[in-house]
Each structure stands twice: as structure tokens, then as C-alpha cells.
């Protein structure tokens, strides 16, 4: 049992290398196959243990950046921060335990490769919404810089995950049995997706106007001083001086919570800048906390993590907040209990109405995503159908020089392909970039330094197949596949039982 356990842990940990910034995509084909083979001839208890260890390695390396946030910016000493990170990863690994339990108990005997693949994909989907969701490290992201990436316009990252796991299990079957049938299945699993990908049109959307002249300010503000009132003036001065020379650009963009203050308090300071940009016919967009009065709220107001178009007074409020980072779940419903337990109010609130209009910027409409909202494929899909451009603001300074920002940017690029839109990404210290509708990086700013990124963005309209249908056709297919396997298993089992009864009667 020790060797399979160690191999499962190594396989899970190695999977992280398939994603950014390493991009050893082939590992996404190898490690699920390794897990599948390790489960052969294992008891249910041992299989669950192997699954949990795979998940521990997978999340322990894949989301190790959580430690940086807790230790460096959460002011938590190294050992407690490491324990908290380990606990978080161990809890996420339970999803792999449940995934393997379901497979090993009900599906490992009949059509095991198909069942393993389908259950893997269903649990990726489960991670997108369970307990507000943690849609990170889907296998499909490993294909971003491969010839398979155009398939994202058909079925999103979900379809790419299906391709990866299918090839992986086909290769696993080859290792187990190298017959002609297995070779044919493996060849088909690789060749068919490539053939479809190469045959797809390069463009699903059409131009809705002339290219937009864009400038993105990357301020590189130290997170340790950002919310300190003593540094507010120097932060405002940095934005003012960086932006003053850009006035006249069609769109100037600042990152998430660029202004560490409610806007009415600093509006007089920026008024000349905003007025001049308005006179020149341009827009100035910033991430900023916004206060909205709400008599129905226990505190009489809501503080939102928002995007504000300062020149046109249009805004968007973040609707997927980070649990226990930006808000406490169910805080409004259990406020008395939280007060008794001395759990403090978090900074931000969810918007009262999640159905928000697109951000009007000049003659165009922008779909918007703040920070890790860009990781939710369906959220961005729904919001981008009528948009000309996708805009995402972030502050990945929380994760310093870890692999977190690279993974985050990889997901943002995938959203551009899925929705057939150019994407603008503004981040405090990187990765600040402009991405085209094929997910290719057009221009990118140097990281971990103060910079201004300038470029042109092509507004587009139209719908990709993924935008039209979403992920539901795939999800329905997965459930149907499991249902068919169960039905066939029942039929085979029933036939076998009747056959044995007949034999006994004959003897």
C-alpha cells in the first residue's frame, strides 16, 4: 500500500507542472492515467486513500500560493500559515476522495475508463459551484498554448478537459492491454480532436468598430502599505502623474481597488484629471470600493469591490467575493452569532441584484470581471454575450512571486477564446496585458514594476458556439453516460443471475 500511496502523491503534485507558468502540458495526460492504473485491484478503502493523496499533491502544489497570502499579507507566522494552507489543501483533496469513492464503489467493474473520465469531469464541474466554487486547475487549461485551444470556442475549458482526460485514459488502456482495439482508441482520441480543431473557423465574431486606443496603468503599489491612510496621498499622486501624460487615449484603465478609499473622499483630487479626459473624448476606468445605501441591509449600506467609469459614471460591483477574504458567508443571516463569536465584518458586500448591466465605455459595452471572477467560465460567458470587449481588473500582489498570478492569467486567456472577444487585463504589479480573441498575448507589461501598457483593442460582436449553449450539453451527456453504464451493469448483472439460476435447475 505504501508504494501506491507515494506514487499517487507524486502524480498529483506533478500535475501542477502541466499548468502555467511551467506548461508541461503532456503531464496532464500522464498523471490522471497514473491515478487510474493505481486504483486497479485496490479495495474501496485503499482506493479512497490513494485518491485523497493524489488530491493532496494536486492542490498542495497547485494552490501553494495561498501560503504567501496568509503569511506575508495576513501577518500570520510561518508555521500557523503553513498549517492553515495544508488544512485548506487537505479539505480540497476530499473532493478527490469522494470522486474515487464514487468510481471505485459503483463504476470500476464495467467500462472503467469511460466511467473514470466522466466522473473526473463531473467533479471539475462540481468544483465550479460547490460552496461558492473554486474553479481552479481544470485539465483543459493545460491545452491553452497547443493546437487544441480553438476547441474552447465550441465547449469551453470543459470540452478541453474532456479531450485531455479521454486521451489520458486511452493511453492508460494501452498500458494495460496493447491490442489493436486499444491502439485504435488511443489514435482516435488524439487525432479526432486535432482534426476538429484544425477545421474550425479562426474567427467566430466580427468587428463592431474601429480598434480602441487603450492605456493601462500598472502602479506596483506595495500591498503592505496600500490600505494605510498615511500612504494614501503618495498612492494618489502616483496614479495622477502616470495618467496625466496619457490623457486623450480613448480608454485609460487602473487595476482592482486602485484607489484605496471611497471615491467621494478623493473625487476633488481627481476632478481636473477626469474633466480633461472627458473634454478629450476619452474614458477613465478604475477599480475602487463603492458605498451603496441600502435600508434593508443591517448596516444600512453595502460596500462593494467595484469598477467605476469615472468619466461616464457607470459601474460594476463584484458578485463572486472571496469567502473569508472579502466577506463572511451568511454574515447577514447570522450577524448576532458572528458578533457573539467576535467575527469581524469583512470589507465588501455582495450586490443586492446580481443582474448588472454591461459597463458602458464610450460607444462600446464591456463585460467586466474583478479578480478571480475571471476563473468562472459560465459567469463570464453569460456576461459577455452582448459585450464588445472583456475587461478584467485584478490585484495579484496578494500572491507575490508565486505561481498564482500565472495560473490566473492563463484562465483569463481561456475566457477570451471561449467568448471570441479581446480581453484587457489590468493588474497592480502584473500580469497586465492585452489578449486577442484567439487567446494570444498581443502586448504585456513587465512584471513587479511600475509601468504603462499601451495598445489597441478590437471590439467584436457575435456568439461562439460555447456562448450559445454553455456547458450544459456536456454536463447532461456526462450524467447520461453514467446512467447508461449503471443500466448496462444492471442488465448484465441481471442476465448473469438468471443464467446461474437456469444452470442450477438443469443440474
pLDDT at 337 over 80: no
The string of pLDDT tens digits covering residues 174-189 is 887 777 888 888 899 9
The residue that leads in pLDDT, 180 or 159, is 159
Burial (CB < 10 A; 0-12, 13-18, 19+), residue 26, is exposed
pLDDT of residue 351: 86
Residue 314 sits at φ, ψ, to 5 deg, of -110, 150
Tell me the C-alpha to C-alpha distance, in Å, between residue 384 and each of 144, 159, 388: 20, 19, 8
- 69 falls in which pLDDT band (50, 70, 90)? confident
The string of pLDDT tens digits covering residues 311-327 is 999 999 999 887 656 76
CA distance 475 to 118: 9
164 with 19, same domain?
yes
Closest of 366, 400, 442 to residue 72, by C-alpha: 400
Reported for 7-11, long-range contacts at CB under 8 A and 24+ positions apart, including other chains, are 7/34, 7/38, 8/34, 8/35, 8/38, 8/50, 8/51, 8/53, 8/54, 8/57, 9/53, 9/54, 9/56, 9/57, 10/57, 11/35, 11/38, 11/54, 11/57
Domain boundary (140, 166, 200) is at: 200
pLDDT of residue 461: 98
215 with 167, same domain?
no
pLDDT of residue 499: 47
128 with 221, same domain?
no
In a domain? residue 294: yes
Question: Residues 349-376: what's their mean pLDDT?
Answer: 93
195 with 213, same domain?
no
Q: Cis omega (within 30 of 0) on the bond before 431?
A: yes
128 with 220, same domain?
no
Classify each residue of 489-502 as buried b or exposed e, where b means 16 or more C-beta atoms within 10 Å of its C-beta. Answer: beeeeeeeeeeeee
Domain interval for residue 463: 206-467
Q: Is 427 left (phi over 0), alpha (psi -120 to 50) or beta?
A: beta
Q: Where are the alpha helices (DSSP H) in 137-279?
A: 152-176, 180-199, 223-226, 232-244, 263-279
pLDDT at 126 over 80: yes
Question: Residues 93-115: what's their mean pLDDT?
Answer: 94
State the first-to-last Cα distance of the chain, in angstroms, to the nearest integer: 43
In a domain? residue 252: yes
103 with 29, same domain?
yes
pLDDT at 494 over 60: no
195 with 259, same domain?
no
The string of pLDDT tens digits covering residues 365-406 is 999 999 999 999 999 999 999 999 999 999 999 899 999 999
What angle is formed at CA 482 by the lines to CA 115 and CA 466, rounded to 5 degrees?
90
Specify the pairing of strand 364-370 against strand 359-361. antiparallel
Domain boundary (158, 181, 200) is at: 200
The residue that leads in pLDDT, 499 or 15, is 15
Q: What grid cell was written down for 505?
A: 435447475
451 with 328, same domain?
yes
Closest of 211, 122, 174 to residue 424, by C-alpha: 211
CA distance 444 to 425: 9
Q: Give me the active site residues, please.
A: 256, 318, 371
Quote the percentage of the chain above a pLDDT of 90: 77
Specify the pairing of strand 301-309 against strand 451-457. unpaired
CATH of the domain at 406: 3.60.110.10
pLDDT of residue 324: 57
pLDDT of residue 342: 46
pLDDT of residue 390: 99
Average pLDDT, the chain: 91
Q: Provide the number of structural domains found in the chain.
A: 2
222 with 190, same domain?
no
Question: Residues 221-242: what's their mean pLDDT?
Answer: 95
In a domain? residue 496: no
pLDDT of residue 98: 98
pLDDT at 338 over 90: no
pLDDT at 497 over 60: no
In a domain? residue 230: yes
Q: Which residue has the cell 473622499?
A: 265
The string of pLDDT tens digits covering residues 435-466 is 999 999 999 999 999 999 999 999 999 999 99
The mean-pLDDT minimum among 169-178, 337-346, 485-494 falls in 337-346
pLDDT at 341 over 60: no
267 with 353, same domain?
yes
451 with 309, same domain?
yes
The residue that leads in pLDDT, 137 or 485, is 137
- 354 falls in which pLDDT band (50, 70, 90)? confident
CA distance 421 to 387: 8
pLDDT of residue 52: 98
In a domain? residue 504: no
In a domain? residue 280: yes
Question: Residues 256-274: what's their mean pLDDT?
Answer: 94
**pTM more than 0.95:** no
- 172 falls in which pLDDT band (50, 70, 90)? very high
Using an 8 Å Cβ cutoff, are 284 and 246 in contact?
A: no
189 with 256, same domain?
no
Question: Residues 261-288: what's their mean pLDDT?
Answer: 96
In a domain? residue 474: no
Q: Going by C-beta distance under 8 Å and a sequence separation of 6 or more, which residues neighbour residue 220?
A: 428, 429, 448, 449, 450, 451
Domain boundary (169, 185, 200) is at: 200
Tell me the C-alpha to C-alpha distance, in Å, between residue 427 and each of 212, 273, 295: 19, 21, 34
- 344 falls in which pLDDT band (50, 70, 90)? very low
pLDDT of residue 502: 57
Q: Is 257 left (phi over 0), alpha (psi -120 to 50) or beta?
A: left
In a domain? residue 225: yes
Amino acid at each position: 500500500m505504501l508504494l501506491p500511496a507515494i506514487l499517487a502523491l507524486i502524480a498529483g503534485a506533478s500535475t501542477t507542472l502541466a499548468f502555467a507558468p511551467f506548461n508541461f502540458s503532456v503531464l496532464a495526460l500522464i498523471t490522471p492515467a497514473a491515478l487510474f492504473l493505481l486504483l486497479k485491484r485496490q479495495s474501496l478503502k485503499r482506493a479512497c486513500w490513494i485518491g485523497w493523496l493524489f488530491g493532496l499533491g494536486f492542490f498542495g502544489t497547485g494552490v501553494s500560493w495561498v501560503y504567501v497570502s496568509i503569511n506575508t499579507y495576513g501577518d500570520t507566522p510561518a508555521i500557523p500559515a503553513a498549517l492553515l494552507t495544508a488544512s485548506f489543501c487537505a479539505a480540497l483533496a476530499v473532493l478527490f476522495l469522494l470522486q474515487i469513492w464514487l468510481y471505485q464503489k459503483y463504476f470500476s467493474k464495467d467500462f472503467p475508463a469511460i466511467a473514470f473520465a466522466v466522473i473526473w469531469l463531473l467533479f471539475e464541474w462540481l468544483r465550479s459551484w460547490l460552496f461558492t466554487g473554486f474553479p481552479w486547475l481544470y485539465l483543459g487549461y493545460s491545452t491553452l498554448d497547443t493546437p487544441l485551444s480553438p476547441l474552447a470556442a465550441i465547449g469551453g475549458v470543459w470540452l478541453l478537459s474532456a479531450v485531455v482526460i479521454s486521451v489520458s485514459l486511452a493511453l492508460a488502456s494501452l498500458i494495460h492491454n496493447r491490442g489493436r482495439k486499444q491502439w485504435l482508441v488511443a489514435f482516435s482520441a488524439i487525432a479526432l480532436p486535432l482534426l476538429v480543431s484544425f477545421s474550425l473557423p479562426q474567427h467566430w465574431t466580427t468587428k463592431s468598430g474601429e480598434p480602441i486606443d487603450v492605456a493601462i496603468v500598472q502602479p506596483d503599489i506595495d500591498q503592505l502599505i496600500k490600505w494605510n491612510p498615511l500612504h494614501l496621498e503618495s498612492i494618489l499622486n502616483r496614479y495622477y502623474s502616470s495618467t496625466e501624460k496619457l490623457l486623450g487615449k480613448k480608454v485609460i484603465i487602473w487595476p482592482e481597488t486602485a484607489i484605496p478609499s471611497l471615491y467621494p473622499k478623493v473625487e476633488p483630487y481627481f476632478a481636473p484629471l477626469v474633466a480633461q479626459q472627458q473634454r478629450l473624448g476619452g474614458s477613465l476606468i478604475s477599480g475602487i470600493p463603492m458605498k451603496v445605501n441600502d435600508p434593508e441591509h443591517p448596516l444600512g449600506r453595502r460596500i462593494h469591490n467595484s469598477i467605476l467609469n469615472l468619466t461616464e459614471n457607470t459601474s460594476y460591483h463584484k458578485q463572486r467575493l472571496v469567502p473569508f477574504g472579502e466577506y463572511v458567508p451568511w454574515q447577514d443571516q447570522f450577524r448576532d452569532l458572528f458578533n457573539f463569536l467576535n467575527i469581524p465584518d469583512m470589507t465588501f458586500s455582495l450586490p443586492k441584484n446580481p443582474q448588472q448591466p454591461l459597463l458602458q465605455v464610450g460607444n462600446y459595452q464591456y463585460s467586466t470581471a474583478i479578480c478571480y471572477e475571471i476563473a468562472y467560465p459560465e459567469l463570464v460567458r453569460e456576461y459577455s454575450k452582448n459585450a464588445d470587449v472583456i475587461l478584467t481588473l485584478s490585484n495579484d500582489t496578494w500572491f507575490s512571486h508565486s505561481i498564482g498570478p500565472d495560473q490566473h492569467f492563463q484562465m483569463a486567456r481561456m475566457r477570451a477564446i471561449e467568448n471570441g472577444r479581446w480581453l484587457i487585463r489590468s493588474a497592480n504589479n502584473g500580469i497586465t496585458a492585452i489578449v486577442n480573441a484567439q487567446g494570444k498575448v498581443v502586448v504585456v507589461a513587465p512584471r513587479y514594476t511600475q509601468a504603462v501598457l499601451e495598445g489597441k483593442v478590437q471590439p467584436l460582436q457575435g456568439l461562439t458556439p460555447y456562448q450559445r449553449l454553455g456547458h450544459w450539453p456536456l454536463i447532461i451527456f456526462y450524467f447520461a453516460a453514467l446512467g447508461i453504464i449503471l443500466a448496462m451493469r444492471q442488465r448484465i448483472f441481471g442476465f448473469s443471475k438468471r443464467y446461474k439460476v437456469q444452470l442450477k435447475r438443469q443440474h
